Amino acid sequence: QVQLVESGGGLVQAGGSLRLSCTASGRTISNYAMGWFRQAPGKEREFVAAISRSGGATHYADSVKGRFTISKDNAKNTVYLQMNSLKPEDTAVYYCAAKPWLLPGKVITDKNEYAYWGQGTQVTVSS
């Protein structure tokens, strides 16, 4: 079983940047497909970005494409989400998720497929 801990959230002005980290313990993330999701108050948890087990394939929600970048450092057992040009509508709790997966190049965008979740980190973007 893998445990996930997110960090790096905070308060930032519109147009600013943040980098979220998701550090795993208990298992190596080299065997996992990983994803970032977010949930704003009163809304459902939504997909943000995903990366394949190998790290060679990524996928983004249209709302963040070109602004956010997901990356994976298997040596550090950490997944990152670099967020640039932040907007007030990016305000949410951001969650990291992991799914054990055999295929190296597949990304997973459906939150219902993920087995493990972190506790979340708050991102607030002021206008």
Going by the DSSP 8-state scheme, the letter that residue 43 receives in this structure is S
Using one digit for the tens of pLDDT, what is the confidence trace for 4-52? 999 999 999 999 999 999 999 998 999 999 999 999 999 999 999 999 9
Question: In this predicted model, what pLDDT tens digit does every residue of 73-102 receive, in sequence order?
Answer: 989 999 999 999 999 999 999 999 999 987
Contact status, residue 60 vs residue 49, Cβ threshold 8 Å: yes
Number of neighbouring beta carbons within 10 Å of residue 15:
11
Cβ–Cβ < 8 Å for 104, 29: no
Distance CA 99, CA 116 (A): 7
Residues 6+ apart with CB under 8 A from 78: 21, 22, 23, 24, 29, 72
